[in-house]
């Protein structure tokens, strides 16, 4: 892509003047600076958002965002795991450049580096971060912050502020939304704002709000076609530990807590999430789960039947947590509308990565396969900022390195030359920029680690994907034709029919490793 058209080096005041003038022009009719609300959830699959995929549930409030804004249909992450994804978000750089490679076993995020919230602050914005942070070091670049420790808790969570840690009563998705609205109520009205609202939901172990406990209990979900994948020709996929059948825990993940069900992980829910509940919350919880446990014990399931029962429970619990998320997004949107803020605020919805809803038999993420490489991305701009038709699906490939350049551009600020993403503003405005990127680059680092996904990097174009699993005990290449094999079941790396494609994809991979300056392996 011709970056010079979209990026502006810092410090060149004449160019800066041009950018601001261009942005003023873009914002013709908008008499106020643009506010930014970036809502990010955790592990929210596009499969469970009805504007992307209507098979499982309805998400009317997310659908509204898509209807009134744009839906990115080819939206990807660079490294499908929480901390790294968040570091990419704030820096606009791949993991090997921002230094935060993995959740576990790496270094804390270096908060002294350049981030978009700091640049917005310098440009006159007030900035805030509420919810999951997960970068170990204390947040920098925020005038206001209130974060969950690590992964946080669903019920009666602790929050960390500059003053220390305190516990609050309630369900985490409601509390984070309340805090977001409260921040907006008490903000400095003389300045534009940027609020990052980072939910815990819908992270494992998918605990719903008490008011949603009974939802989805009467629904049965179709088993994904690849649920019983045999992983032939894919050694890394064969050796993971994220299988619903083998690794999803009955007590911990699926809440079948009973003295007769003994699991390695039971302790952590009994003395973790369940222990945090008040007696009233626990009574409501047990009123739904106790009968489910009794029915499960009476059924005496095993083998395939048990695995398919686990899939159904997983889907129900997950979708209940999504329901609360969607309701809370509705609540926030109502507030923004009531306050007239939708007229000068960009509202973004994204997840830190995608997630498996039983495809390949899995939960979790990490792999460069489609379900976890992709991530939902919806953006709603006020009318005066866009001449594009609303409710469009954008097909161009975008990545989470692009968010920081997008926010800076919309704020009328220059995008530093060392940011590796590009602004999505042309796409938001309905343009089809010539020379848009024709491939994305991916690199996952966390091995050894939970779920046992090998380190790998790769390239994806609109049709093909090349992946290299490397390190420790593996050196395996995979090549997929996404057109004939969208489920990525057939590794064609050694197929002579794809020899030319393989050569081209290797060249593309080398080009991207060079462009992004990734020599880590
Ligand atoms: C926790 C989960 C894992 C999950 C990682 C990373 N285990 O460790 O299942 O893969 O987080 O998730 S749990 O027992 O603590 O639930 S991430 O979204 O934060 O990257
Ligand atoms: Ca996540």
pLDDT score recorded for residue 455: 98
Cβ < 5 A residues, ion ligand 2: 42-43, 82, 352
**H or E element, residue 349:** strand 345-351
CATH code of the region 442-515 = 3.30.1120.10
Looking at residue 3, the DSSP 8-state letter turns out to be G
Q: Is the CB of 375 under 6 A from ligand 1?
A: no
CA 396 to ligand 1 centroid distance, Å: 30
CA 133 to ligand 2 centroid distance, Å: 11
CATH superfamily to which 34-206+316-434 belongs: Alkaline Phosphatase, subunit A (3.40.720.10)
Ligand closest in space to the Cα of 355: 2
User: Interior CA angle at 39 toward 35 and 40, to 5°?
Assistant: 145
Which residue lies with its CA nearest to atom 7 of ligand 1?
204
Every domain range in the chain assigned CATH 3.30.1120.10: 442-515
Pairing of strands 440-444, 456-460: antiparallel
pLDDT score recorded for residue 22: 46
Under 8 Å between Cβ of 278 and 169: yes
Under 8 Å between Cβ of 509 and 459: yes
Phi and psi based region of residue 435 (left: phi greater than 0; alpha: psi -120 to 50; beta: remaining): left
CA 249 to ligand 1 centroid distance, Å: 13
pLDDT score recorded for residue 31: 79
- CA–CA distances in Å: residue 114 to residues 37, 197, 391: 20, 20, 34
CA 149 to ligand 1 centroid distance, Å: 14
- CA–CA distances in Å: residue 518 to residues 2, 439, 458, 502, 509: 20, 15, 11, 20, 11
Secondary structure (3-state) at 217 = coil
Sign of CA dihedral 353, 394, 225, 444: negative
Ligand closest in space to the Cα of 43: 2
When the pLDDT of each residue in the chain is averaged and rounded to a whole number, the result is 94
Task: List the beta bridge partners of residue 40.
Answer: 198, 350
CA 195 to ligand 2 centroid distance, Å: 19
Closest-CA residue to 128 (of 114, 111, 141, 137): 141
- Choosing from 106, 152, 203 the residue with most ligand 1 atoms within 8 A of its CB, the one to mutate for a pocket test is 203
pLDDT score recorded for residue 187: 98
- Choosing from 365, 400, 450 the residue with most ligand 1 atoms within 8 A of its CB, the one to mutate for a pocket test is 450
Which residue lies with its CA nearest to atom 8 of ligand 1?
450
**H or E element, residue 295:** helix 279-299
Looking at residue 34, the DSSP 8-state letter turns out to be P
| Rounded Cα gap, residues 339 and 389, in angstroms | 24
CA 174 to ligand 1 centroid distance, Å: 21
- Cβ-based burial of 17 (10 A; exposed 0-12, middle 13-18, buried ≥19): exposed
| Rounded Cα gap, residues 342 and 347, in angstroms | 8
| Rounded Cα gap, residues 179 and 332, in angstroms | 11
CA 365 to ligand 1 centroid distance, Å: 10
Every domain range in the chain assigned CATH 3.40.720.10: 34-206+316-434
Q: Is the CB of 229 under 6 A from ligand 1?
A: no
Ligand closest in space to the Cα of 264: 1
Minimum-distance ligand 1 atom for the alpha carbon of 451: 10
| Rounded Cα gap, residues 52 and 71, in angstroms | 8
| Rounded Cα gap, residues 273 and 3, in angstroms | 47
Helix residue spans in 429-495 (DSSP H): none
Closest-CA residue to 394 (of 422, 349, 429, 369): 429
The stretches in the chain having pLDDT less than 50 are 1-22, 24-26
Which residue lies with its CA nearest to atom 16 of ligand 1?
204
Q: Is the CB of 248 under 6 A from ligand 1?
A: no
Three-state SS string over 405-439 comes to HHHHHHCCCCCCCCCCCCCCHHHHCCCCCCCCCCC
pLDDT score recorded for residue 27: 55
Q: Is the CB of 43 under 6 A from ligand 1?
A: yes
Q: Is the CB of 103 under 6 A from ligand 1?
A: yes
């Amino acid at each position: 892509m011709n970056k010079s058209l979209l990026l502006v080096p810092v410090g060149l005041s004449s160019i800066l003047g041009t950018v601001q003038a261009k942005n003023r022009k873009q914002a013709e009719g908008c008499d106020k600076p643009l506010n930014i609300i970036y809502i990010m959830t955790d592990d929210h699959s596009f499969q469970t958002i009805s504007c992307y995929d209507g098979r499982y549930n309805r998400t009317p409030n997310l659908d509204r965002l898509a209807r009134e804004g744009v839906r990115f249909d080819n939206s990807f992450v660079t490294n499908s795991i929480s901390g790294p994804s968040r570091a990419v978000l704030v820096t606009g750089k791949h993991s090997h450049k921002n230094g935060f490679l993995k959740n576990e076993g790496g270094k804390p995020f270096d908060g002294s580096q350049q981030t978009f919230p700091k640049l917005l602050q310098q440009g006159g914005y007030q900035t805030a971060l509420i919810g999951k942070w997960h970068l170990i070091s204390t947040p920098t670049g925020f005038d206001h912050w209130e974060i969950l420790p690590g992964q946080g808790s669903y019920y009666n969570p602790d929050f960390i502020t500059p003053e220390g840690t305190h516990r609050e009563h309630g369900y985490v998705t409601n509390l984070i939304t309340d805090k977001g609205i409260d921040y907006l109520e008490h903000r400095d009205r003389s300045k534009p704002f940027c609020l990052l609202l980072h939910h815990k939901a819908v992270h494992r172990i998918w605990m719903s709000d008490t008011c949603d406990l009974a939802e989805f209990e009467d629904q049965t979900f179709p088993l994904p076609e690849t649920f019983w994948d045999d992983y032939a020709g894919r050694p890394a996929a064969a050796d993971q530990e994220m299988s619903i059948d083998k690794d999803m825990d009955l007590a911990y993940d699926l809440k079948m807590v009973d003295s007769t069900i003994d699991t390695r992980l039971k302790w952590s829910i009994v003395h973790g999430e369940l222990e945090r509940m008040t007696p009233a919350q626990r009574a409501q919880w047990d009123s739904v789960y106790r009968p489910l446990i009794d029915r499960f014990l009476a059924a005496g399931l095993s083998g395939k039947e048990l695995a398919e029962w686990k899939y159904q429970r997983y889907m129900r619990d997950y979708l209940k947590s999504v329901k609360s998320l969607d309701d809370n997004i509705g609540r926030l949107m109502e507030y923004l509308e009531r306050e007239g803020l939708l007229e000068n605020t960009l509202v973004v919805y994204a997840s830190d990565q995608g997630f498996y809803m039983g495809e390949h038999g899995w939960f979790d993420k990490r792999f460069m396969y489609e379900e976890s490489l992709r991530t939902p991305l919806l953006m709603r701009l006020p009318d005066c900022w866009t001449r594009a038709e609303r409710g469009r699906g954008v097909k161009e490939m975008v990545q989470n390195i692009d968010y920081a350049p997008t926010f800076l551009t919309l704020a009328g600020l220059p995008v530093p030359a060392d940011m590796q993403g590009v602004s999505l503003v042309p796409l938001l405005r309905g343009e089809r920029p010539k020379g848009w990127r024709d491939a994305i680059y991916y690199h996952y680092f966390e091995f050894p680690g939970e779920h046992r996904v090998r380190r790998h990097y790769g390239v994806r174009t609109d049709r093909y994907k090349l992946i290299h699993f490397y390190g420790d005990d593996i050196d395996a290449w995979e090549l997929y034709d996404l057109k004939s094999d969208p489920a990525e079941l057939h590794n064609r790396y050694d197929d002579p029919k794809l020899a030319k494609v393989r050569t081209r994809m290797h060249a593309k991979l080398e080009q991207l490793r060079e462009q992004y300056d990734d020599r880590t392996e």
